[in-house]
Amino acid sequence: MVKVASGISPYRKWQELHFTGTELLAGQGGDDGDADGDGLSNLAEYAFGTNPRVAQATATEFAVGGDGVGVVEILGERYLQVSIQKPAAVDGAWYAAQFGSGLASWLPASPGPQANDVYEVVEDSATRYTVRDKTPLSGAQKRFARVHLLLAE
Protein backbone atom coordinates (compact mmCIF):
# COMPACT_ATOMS: atom_id res chain seq x y z
CA MET A 1 0.00 0.00 0.00
CA VAL A 2 1.29 3.47 -0.86
CA LYS A 3 0.58 6.37 1.46
CA VAL A 4 1.64 10.01 1.42
CA ALA A 5 3.15 11.62 4.51
CA SER A 6 -0.23 12.89 5.68
CA GLY A 7 -1.55 9.34 5.86
CA ILE A 8 -4.08 9.98 3.09
CA SER A 9 -3.97 7.69 0.07
CA PRO A 10 -2.88 9.29 -3.22
CA TYR A 11 -6.33 8.62 -4.67
CA ARG A 12 -8.11 10.27 -1.72
CA LYS A 13 -5.79 13.27 -2.03
CA TRP A 14 -6.69 13.47 -5.75
CA GLN A 15 -10.41 13.37 -4.89
CA GLU A 16 -10.01 16.20 -2.41
CA LEU A 17 -8.11 18.23 -5.01
CA HIS A 18 -10.87 17.90 -7.63
CA PHE A 19 -14.09 17.82 -5.57
CA THR A 20 -15.63 19.76 -2.71
CA GLY A 21 -16.60 18.05 0.52
CA THR A 22 -20.26 18.40 -0.48
CA GLU A 23 -19.61 16.70 -3.84
CA LEU A 24 -17.75 13.88 -2.10
CA LEU A 25 -20.60 13.34 0.38
CA ALA A 26 -23.18 13.44 -2.43
CA GLY A 27 -21.30 10.80 -4.42
CA GLN A 28 -20.38 13.04 -7.34
CA GLY A 29 -16.73 12.79 -6.28
CA GLY A 30 -16.97 9.07 -5.47
CA ASP A 31 -15.29 6.23 -7.35
CA ASP A 32 -18.22 5.70 -9.74
CA GLY A 33 -19.09 9.40 -10.20
CA ASP A 34 -18.68 11.04 -13.61
CA ALA A 35 -18.70 14.80 -13.04
CA ASP A 36 -17.87 15.68 -16.66
CA GLY A 37 -20.26 13.13 -18.22
CA ASP A 38 -17.64 11.62 -20.53
CA GLY A 39 -18.34 8.00 -19.56
CA LEU A 40 -15.19 7.62 -17.45
CA SER A 41 -15.70 7.13 -13.73
CA ASN A 42 -13.66 9.23 -11.33
CA LEU A 43 -11.58 6.18 -10.49
CA ALA A 44 -10.82 5.71 -14.20
CA GLU A 45 -10.00 9.42 -14.58
CA TYR A 46 -7.48 9.09 -11.74
CA ALA A 47 -5.98 5.91 -13.20
CA PHE A 48 -5.61 7.47 -16.66
CA GLY A 49 -4.29 10.77 -15.31
CA THR A 50 -7.14 12.79 -16.82
CA ASN A 51 -9.14 15.65 -15.32
CA PRO A 52 -12.57 14.58 -13.98
CA ARG A 53 -13.88 18.10 -14.71
CA VAL A 54 -12.94 18.06 -18.42
CA ALA A 55 -14.75 15.64 -20.75
CA GLN A 56 -12.49 13.47 -22.86
CA ALA A 57 -13.22 13.54 -26.61
CA THR A 58 -13.03 9.74 -26.66
CA ALA A 59 -12.90 7.19 -23.89
CA THR A 60 -9.32 6.64 -22.79
CA GLU A 61 -8.14 3.05 -22.73
CA PHE A 62 -4.84 1.32 -22.31
CA ALA A 63 -3.01 1.28 -25.59
CA VAL A 64 -1.43 -1.95 -26.67
CA GLY A 65 2.30 -1.33 -26.68
CA GLY A 66 4.85 -1.49 -29.47
CA ASP A 67 5.03 -5.26 -29.54
CA GLY A 68 1.34 -5.55 -28.60
CA VAL A 69 -0.01 -9.03 -28.12
CA GLY A 70 1.96 -11.74 -29.76
CA VAL A 71 3.84 -14.98 -29.53
CA VAL A 72 7.55 -15.06 -28.75
CA GLU A 73 9.85 -18.04 -29.11
CA ILE A 74 12.38 -18.90 -26.41
CA LEU A 75 14.59 -21.99 -26.61
CA GLY A 76 12.25 -23.62 -29.11
CA GLU A 77 9.08 -22.99 -27.07
CA ARG A 78 6.38 -20.44 -27.97
CA TYR A 79 4.80 -18.15 -25.33
CA LEU A 80 2.04 -15.53 -25.29
CA GLN A 81 3.38 -12.04 -24.51
CA VAL A 82 1.48 -8.79 -23.87
CA SER A 83 2.82 -5.25 -23.88
CA ILE A 84 0.84 -2.12 -22.97
CA GLN A 85 1.69 1.55 -22.97
CA LYS A 86 1.16 2.91 -19.47
CA PRO A 87 -1.00 5.99 -18.93
CA ALA A 88 0.54 9.05 -17.28
CA ALA A 89 2.27 8.33 -13.98
CA VAL A 90 -0.28 7.76 -11.24
CA ASP A 91 0.67 7.64 -7.56
CA GLY A 92 -0.31 4.40 -5.89
CA ALA A 93 -0.84 2.49 -9.16
CA TRP A 94 0.68 -0.86 -10.02
CA TYR A 95 0.15 -3.46 -12.69
CA ALA A 96 -0.56 -7.16 -12.64
CA ALA A 97 -1.53 -9.73 -15.25
CA GLN A 98 -3.51 -12.91 -15.45
CA PHE A 99 -3.26 -15.70 -17.99
CA GLY A 100 -5.58 -18.59 -18.70
CA SER A 101 -6.64 -21.26 -21.14
CA GLY A 102 -10.20 -19.90 -21.16
CA LEU A 103 -12.05 -16.69 -20.36
CA ALA A 104 -13.59 -18.13 -17.19
CA SER A 105 -10.41 -19.31 -15.49
CA TRP A 106 -7.55 -16.90 -14.75
CA LEU A 107 -4.26 -17.36 -12.91
CA PRO A 108 -3.09 -16.13 -10.56
CA ALA A 109 -6.58 -16.08 -9.03
CA SER A 110 -5.92 -12.72 -7.33
CA PRO A 111 -3.66 -10.45 -9.37
CA GLY A 112 -1.06 -8.66 -7.28
CA PRO A 113 2.47 -7.29 -7.32
CA GLN A 114 3.94 -10.39 -5.72
CA ALA A 115 6.11 -12.85 -7.63
CA ASN A 116 4.20 -15.74 -9.13
CA ASP A 117 4.75 -18.83 -11.23
CA VAL A 118 2.21 -17.87 -13.91
CA TYR A 119 3.98 -15.09 -15.82
CA GLU A 120 7.26 -13.23 -16.10
CA VAL A 121 7.49 -9.44 -16.06
CA VAL A 122 9.69 -8.61 -19.05
CA GLU A 123 9.50 -4.81 -18.63
CA ASP A 124 7.94 -2.53 -16.03
CA SER A 125 9.19 0.93 -16.93
CA ALA A 126 7.58 4.36 -16.65
CA THR A 127 6.00 3.96 -20.08
CA ARG A 128 5.55 0.24 -20.72
CA TYR A 129 4.43 -2.94 -18.99
CA THR A 130 5.29 -6.22 -20.73
CA VAL A 131 4.54 -9.69 -19.40
CA ARG A 132 5.08 -13.18 -20.80
CA ASP A 133 3.08 -16.28 -19.96
CA LYS A 134 5.15 -19.09 -18.45
CA THR A 135 2.93 -21.79 -19.98
CA PRO A 136 4.23 -22.65 -23.46
CA LEU A 137 1.80 -22.84 -26.35
CA SER A 138 1.49 -26.25 -27.90
CA GLY A 139 -0.55 -27.47 -30.86
CA ALA A 140 -3.95 -25.78 -31.08
CA GLN A 141 -3.95 -24.72 -27.42
CA LYS A 142 -5.36 -21.23 -26.82
CA ARG A 143 -4.04 -18.87 -24.16
CA PHE A 144 -5.61 -15.61 -23.01
CA ALA A 145 -4.17 -12.66 -21.09
CA ARG A 146 -5.46 -9.60 -19.31
CA VAL A 147 -3.61 -6.77 -17.57
CA HIS A 148 -4.92 -4.92 -14.52
CA LEU A 149 -4.19 -1.43 -13.30
CA LEU A 150 -4.63 -1.56 -9.54
CA LEU A 151 -4.69 1.34 -7.11
CA ALA A 152 -3.54 1.42 -3.50
CA GLU A 153 -6.21 2.51 -1.06
pLDDT in tens, 82-104: 988 777 667 777 888 999 998 88
Q: Would you state the torsion angle of the CA atoms of residues 101, 103, 150, 117, taken in this order, to the nearest 10 degrees?
A: -10
Give the pLDDT confidence score for residue 1 in this predicted structure: 36
Which pTM value belongs to this model?
0.65
Check residue 32 and report its DSSP letter: T
Give the pLDDT confidence score for residue 107 in this predicted structure: 92
**Beta pairing, strands 144-151 & 128-133:** unpaired
Same domain, 87 and 97: yes
Same domain, 72 and 147: yes
Question: Residue 90: how many CB atoms within 10 A of its CB?
Answer: 17
Host domain of residue 51: 1-61
Same domain, 97 and 128: yes
Q: Would you place residue 146 in the very low, low, confident or very high pLDDT band (cuts 50, 70, 90)? A: confident
Same domain, 113 and 91: yes
- Domains held by the chain: number: 2
Secondary structure of residue 123 in the 3-state scheme = strand
Same domain, 115 and 131: yes
Same domain, 93 and 146: yes
